[in-house]
Chain A
């Protein structure tokens, strides 16, 4: 497993090494030499070469945990660093479907279920509000509500866990 970045829903394996002047990016079987130095007023200067000529570009960069935000040539991009070990762990992750997450940032309008309730696939779990519109979150499968993590009126970010379902056994136990 290698280090990588997630960008626009794609994953890119990369490596970084030192060169005489700066660094080399190793990606897709190629090494691409570049320099990156701090510029004025918190900006950064990216140096590379194209057609044998040196090219200097100014960019803005900010790092927030594993997110690297880059403003380059009039567009802003966000790349997420993926640690090699975590990427490995994700492959083995199971039971992700047990967490009911917010599909977008918003606030909770009403809850239709409580912990311990049995729910059917497609049953309304809660109504949330985002972008001035109501969105209904439904059960992704049959199950039992394990935990309710939000209260009416509460605001949350995208991907926040709102509810969880009790884990489903791989093999259904027969009632004795």
Chain B
């Protein structure tokens, strides 16, 4: 698109971290001005550096600032932004925000508020998809008749999964294997749903054993065109949160791939879906798949799709928001090579994946052939408990899965973050596990292999190297050693 043709010349990114940086890249590639809002905690972040203008927002908590739609719209008006890109999380799937943005005369880069309401509400989306003739799993929906919800939930074949109707990102989801625990788990899920989404409504569905998580990237324009950009497999999860995603899925045959991708495109078409979205499926060992939910936003794991299709998804989102027709048809989109994303989290895998905090004393992203790093951190910043612990994403691409894995191992070895513990050693252990190498994983894979989270063994020689380095870097020890140099040196090695 020509720069003069854009209906807006400035886009505000209502987000932070790596995704703000990544969206700014596409805004700049389009020749547009990029504005970000930021909380004071993020003042030194790469997103603030990368933006043409950065406007501070405040809140009772740092997260609260990024959830304050009115304040963000005010900032957009102040900066002369004609469009707002919400990224993922925060306000990205908030229909009221999308509506308020439109009412302020600003273009929301995403689907319409009605589509967010329909597809973002798991219960309504599921009913819609079922009615349109696509496959969904056996379930019980609270809204159908709240008085009988627990009874109906008990009738769904166990094990079952409880989910918040308005949920996402694994928050508030609980597996129940024992019917006796059902009521307690429902209460806990309701409390979490209420707190995270302001909505305590729930539904339960049959939990498919050893399922894979397969999702399909969709793009729809405002002229009625919908295409899919193939699938992503996101089966390596801890606590229902994805940590490794790849495309193509090693599980799918070409026939099933076509079927699942066409189903996703069909669902989006039925909804008249506009902009980027993802249709998620649960995929059983027998090749059956059920609709799970639709994410009405750009996904964390979108880069793997970009790497194999060559399509800049964030740029396409801007073009679609500007009213442009899609520049390609389904047949024009091809998949080349294999791409895998690893989420770099500030967390201690060996301590139950608890979040870690600390200063970023050194940050050296991985480089090399097929390596892309989408990062939102910079040296001098601090990792705090205020935000989501995802710091960066490593995306590696090769001509085939084997090459992508080899490049990933090298990149995970080489990237350095000092000051705050991350999950990179854990990711390497997963990457080198025979099941992952064979592409034979399911969403319960990490639960079935808790040993992968153990601290890697340190051999005696490595321990010496670490203690020696630490000792030489520690002032009180070095001072003592330097104070008595020659005599003991002349005596040779003394014993202690």
Contacts and interface: CB of A to CB of B under 8 A. Distances in A.
Interface stretch (B24-32, B127-135, B275-283, B352-360): B352-360
A53 to B, nearest CB: 14
B286 interface: no
A23 B469 contact: no
Nearest to A130: B355
Nearest to B346: A105
Contacts of B191: 134
A60 to B, nearest CB: 5
B470 A74 contact: no
Given A25-B467, A130-B385, A3 B477 contact: yes
B428 A74 contact: yes
B359 A64 contact: yes
Contacts of A7: 463, 466-467
Interface in B406-452: 412-414, 416-419, 421-422, 424-425, 428
Contacts of B171: 132
B447 to A, nearest CB: 15
A59 interface: yes
Interface residues of B, number: 73
Nearest to A131: B355
Interface string B448-481: 0000000110100111111111111110111011
Contacts, number: 190
Nearest to A31: B493
B466 A72 contact: yes
Interface stretch (B48-56, B256-264, B315-323, B483-491): B483-491
Contacts of B347: 131
B484 A131 contact: no
A76 B357 contact: no
A23 to B, nearest CB: 6
A46 B469 contact: yes
Contact of A130 (B354, B361, B458, B463): B354
Nearest to B188: A134
Contacts of B351: 104
Given A12-B467, A134-B192, A61 B473 contact: yes
A145 interface: no
B328 interface: no
Contacts of A59: 469
A104 B355 contact: yes
A15 B385 contact: no
Interface of B: 60-62, 169-171, 188, 191-192, 195-196, 239, 241, 347, 351, 353-359, 361-362, 364, 384-386, 389, 412-414, 416-419, 421-422, 424-425, 428, 455-456, 458, 461-474, 476-478, 480-482, 484-486, 488-489, 493-496
4 nearest A-B pairs in the assembled complex, by CB-CB distance: A74-B413, A105-B385, A31-B493, A62-B361
Given A7-B467, A48-B468, A73-B413, 5 more contacts: A18-B481, A36-B469, A57-B465, A74-B414, A155-B61
